[in-house]
Amino acid sequence: MKRWLNSILMTAAVALGATALPAKPLELLPSHAGYQPKDALEKGLWLEMDQAEQQVRVSKFLIEDPELNAYVKSVLCRAVGIEKCGSARVYLIRTPQFNAAMAPNGMMLVWSGLLLRARNEAELATVLAHEFAHFEMQHSCSRSAMSRQSPMQ
């Protein structure tokens, strides 16, 4: 009975135009200017990702084409909103896999295989927005916290 009710409520929410991301009132999200990591776990993840980002910036696999970089960033901004996309730093990486990733500090990696295989801008935007949602909802932080808990908890 509970599953049936949840299904109806979700269907109604979609029909009424509810967003997939729950609102967080009065709380800054990572995509907001001025956001600071909340706890030691998140601060540690940010430090690790800041160090990884320094390595990405000098990687021989980094694609430094200004026009291509500007285009991918513009697709992201149109997908998630101009006011939010400024918190993301997009790096295009030369690797054949079809993927993208978003770090908790705002570093987004877009692999060239994704650019080659996306059939249109909408597909690219979908992947970029999906990764950005992981960042905004702090999924990597919650996964890290869960992985450090004892299996008995």
User: Is residue 115 included in any domain, yes or no?
Assistant: yes
User: Is residue 25 included in any domain, yes or no?
Assistant: no
Residue 129's CATH number:
3.30.2010
User: Is residue 137 included in any domain, yes or no?
Assistant: yes
The least confident of 8-22, 28-42, 48-62, 136-150 is 8-22
Q: Is the pLDDT of residue 18 over 60?
A: no
Q: What is the pLDDT of residues 30-76, one digit of tens each?
A: 665 666 666 777 777 778 888 999 999 999 999 999 999 999 999 99
Number of domains in the chain: 1
Burial annotation 119-152 (CB, 10 A radius, 16+ → b, else e): eeeeebbebbbebbbbbbbbebbeeeeeeeeeee
Q: Is the pLDDT of residue 26 over 90?
A: no
Q: Is the pLDDT of residue 149 over 60?
A: no
Structural domain harbouring 64: 38-147
Q: What is the pLDDT of residues 91-132, one digit of tens each?
A: 999 999 999 999 888 899 999 999 999 999 999 999 999 999
User: Is residue 32 included in any domain, yes or no?
Assistant: no
User: Is residue 77 included in any domain, yes or no?
Assistant: yes
pLDDT (0 to 100) of residue 135: 85
Q: Is the pTM of this model over 0.75?
A: no
Cα-based distances in Å from 51 to 20, 45, 47, 101, 107:
32, 10, 6, 16, 11
pLDDT (0 to 100) of residue 53: 92
